[in-house]
Structure 1
């Protein structure tokens, strides 16, 4: 599978490498997102030592690191030395003269701090007394987000203030999916993105492209498959009470988006939820949405929660409720349910996200009537919801409304634009003097009427 995207992250690592002073980078992000692949790509052609920490004791990790350093240096004396500590190993690594910068990567760094709570302090001393004045780039990498934040980024960490940069690696955007699946139509690519969601490991499993339903059956709807229990693996090391977090995600997947609705569905007090919701947001599993027209996003009472991760949204909608059928050998029942609701109940929402991301691209390219600083979904009242609303919070003279349709075989019609305009009337933001624009997105294109109208009316845009 090709190495795709990561230009910004690679550029940051390369800039640190070319800088004559020492650097300490923290790279973190959820499992399977491609951190190790990024670092392997960065290390190509460089003088680099890569060590993968384990959940063994700190003494076992130290011995393994010594062996790795001895192999790297071809130093038999270091290899045979007993009871050599971390400080001496790093001192030996730095003692070998070279004009080329040395890259030292410690992957799954959080396991060292878990094995010995004092290790971040030990490493802080090594950085302060040895590494920071040498020609080195040190990268501490980890996949347990909360542990990495606690051990390297939080104010209470001994390493706080030492880092010269950090990368929270996220999923690969849809815009790059044509590089993974170049032979597919855009419609097919969106179906695959709706399940794999930009996680490189998942993309790799689906990379053969045998057809979305066959690939789902093989990789998700089989109890022995890699992804069947993936959500449990993701949460197991991050949270202590996996059951309560599962319940929260399941509630959101069922359509309970407001804080009060989530609490009511779980029969728990509202006050017990914020900490858990913050944890799930930190893990990029959930996100809190607020209509872009709200004055204060942070304190708005209109906030709603949604599942941010495509695969987890898919899993909780289609796998979790059907596990009894799947595990009893009747996966065909689950597949029939999936076929009937996959497009309207999942792909359609993913397509809206893709279109909102495209809005930022169009905005940056100057292809829209005005520059905006907020874009998102808007809702109000009982049933009024608009897929896209874009505004400039510093200028209330313009507003843009958008509609997104994943019609597989049907073009968007003029009637859908009329419906959008009717819904736009419910949005009060700048209503006294605003100029309204409308943008339409449809995977199957637009009717001739819409094309003619867009050509004659600059307020209508076809995405």
Structure 2
């Protein structure tokens, strides 16, 4: 599968590579598993690569000594401790510019956490005039943040650069899917709603030669030995530790649309005071969910939503049906997925549409997002600009039938609910309908200066 769109990150790494020819630099890179961190490093530069497996120190040191013997010139000793190993890297780099990568660096927490203090010691001693680039890569975001961002940790403040590698955008995933032979836009969006922007999952689609959404789900998730059957569970248990069951309960409720603190507390039975801590961790430490708020006067009406599409899919369809999957009733589970897939895709389509619309706004915005109120009224797309005051309001429908005049009027009715410079603002209206519009709806929209896009027209505007 072709390497996709990491231009900014590639350039950042190449810049650090050049800068490290004069003095030491430390790059910390983290991001969820399968997002492409290792591939990015391989594509960006030649380096001495160490994978930090959960082995004993003696086994890892022996392995690393063997690697160094193939990568550097001169004598390489057999290391008996981590202090000797780290000192060797810095001493060698005094005369030789080297780039050293430690992949899954957070695993040193289990191997020997003293190595963090050892790296700090030699970094402080050598970094001013030693031409070395240290790259520390990690998949478990909570642990990586603790190692590098916690002020009490020895490596706090030592990193000279940081890359938080995010999943690919829909535009790039669409390109990947088209390269894999998918031509149906709805099916591509369904794949994105399921797997998000994680390249590894699409690599598996290519490796298995899968050509339909159903084949993908049945082969990769819903079969006895499916490679992704327990993927989300394993990743999150590694992140959360022994207390994972509480986090799982919270995530499952959010996956079904329970977005407020009270809703989640009521359905999980977790007291709101305790729940706040779990939500804080999920937002800030693990970065699995986010708190969204209406763009106008909505700071107290925030809702929690799962950011990671694969995590969302798993908690919506797999975790609640674990008894069926464990007993081999995969057809039943796929039937449930098929029945609810459209409603699951809807919010993802809104996300795709918002991003495309915000790239093509007729004015310069100061805020973009969505809008809702306590009564339950919602507007899927909302953007505001100031001086002059402008507002764009839009609806997004993942619908199977063309929208009629009645559907269009609902948006116009909602505009009076958005209380923001009502007498001064210039209004723009947009409706995005997967299945398009009836002729009478198009006439009504033209008469009322409401723009419309069907799925094809929307994707043509994607930058």
TM-score, normalising length: structure 1: 0.89
> Does the 8 A contact of 1:67 with 1:79 survive in 2?
no
Residue 245 of structure 2 is aligned to residue 243 of structure 1: yes
Q: Name the residue aligned to 2:378.
A: 385
Q: CA shift at 1:456, angstroms?
A: 6.6
> Does the 8 A contact of 1:194 with 1:310 survive in 2?
yes
Q: Distance in 2 between matches of 1:448 and 1:135?
A: 68
Q: Distance in 2 between matches of 1:89 and 1:3?
A: 34
Q: Distance in 1 between matches of 2:51 and 2:449?
A: 57
Q: Which of 158, 162, 183 is the aligned partner of 2:158?
A: 162
Q: Which of 101, 110, 130 is the aligned partner of 2:126?
A: 130
Q: Deviations over 1:25-56 (max 9, x none)?
A: 1001111111111111112xx3x111111222
> Does the 8 A contact of 1:62 with 1:85 survive in 2?
no
Q: Distance in 1 between matches of 2:398 and 2:77?
A: 61
Q: Name the residue aligned to 2:461.
A: none
> Which has the larger displacement, 206-215 or 260-269?
206-215
Matches within 5 A, 1:35-184: 35-43=37-45, 46=46, 48-75=47-74, 77-80=75-78, 85-94=84-93, 97=96, 101-182=97-178, 183=181, 184=183
- 3-state SS, counterpart of residue 274 of structure 1: helix
Q: Distance in 2 between matches of 1:131 and 1:244?
A: 43
Q: Name the residue aligned to 1:292.
A: 295
Q: Name the residue aligned to 1:365.
A: none
Q: Distance in 2 between matches of 1:458 and 1:14?
A: 49
C-alpha change, 1:461 and 1:243, in structure 2 (3 Å) is same
Q: Name the residue aligned to 1:256.
A: 258
> Does the 8 A contact of 2:148 with 2:157 survive in 1?
no
Q: Deviations over 1:141-186 (max 9, x none)?
A: 1111111111122222222222111011111110112321224232
Q: Name the residue aligned to 2:362.
A: 369
Q: Distance in 2 between matches of 1:209 and 1:176?
A: 19
Q: Name the residue aligned to 1:348.
A: 346
C-alpha change, 1:273 and 1:126, in structure 2 (3 Å) is same
C-alpha change, 1:383 and 1:133, in structure 2 (3 Å) is same
Q: Name the residue aligned to 1:206.
A: 205
Q: Deviations over 1:410-454 (max 9, x none)?
A: 334443221111122222122233222111222334444555566
- 3-state SS, counterpart of residue 237 of structure 1: helix
> Does the 8 A contact of 2:79 with 2:85 survive in 1?
no
Residue 315 of structure 2 is aligned to residue 316 of structure 1: yes
Matches within 5 A, 1:444-463: 444-449=435-440, 460=451, 462=453, 463=458
- 3-state SS, counterpart of residue 417 of structure 2: coil
Question: Structure 2 regions of 5+ residues with no counterpart?
Answer: 459-463
C-alpha change, 1:242 and 1:418, in structure 2 (3 Å) is same
Q: Name the residue aligned to 1:281.
A: 283
Q: Deviations over 1:89-131 (max 9, x none)?
A: 214532554xxx4211111111224433332221012222224
Q: CA RMSD for the aligned pairs? A: 2.3
> Does the 8 A contact of 1:397 with 1:430 survive in 2?
yes
Q: CA shift at 1:387, angstroms?
A: 1.0
C-alpha change, 1:164 and 1:451, in structure 2 (3 Å) is farther
Give the count of matched residue pairs. 444
Q: Name the residue aligned to 1:233.
A: 234
Q: Name the residue aligned to 2:416.
A: 425
> Does the 8 A contact of 1:396 with 1:429 survive in 2?
no
> Does the 8 A contact of 2:220 with 2:229 survive in 1?
yes
Q: Distance in 2 between matches of 1:73 and 1:49?
A: 9
> Does the 8 A contact of 1:66 with 1:89 survive in 2?
no
Q: CA shift at 1:405, angstroms?
A: 1.6
TM-score, normalising length: structure 2: 0.89
> Does the 8 A contact of 2:260 with 2:304 survive in 1?
yes
Q: CA shift at 1:377, angstroms?
A: 2.3
Q: CA shift at 1:335, angstroms?
A: 1.7
- 3-state SS, counterpart of residue 425 of structure 1: helix
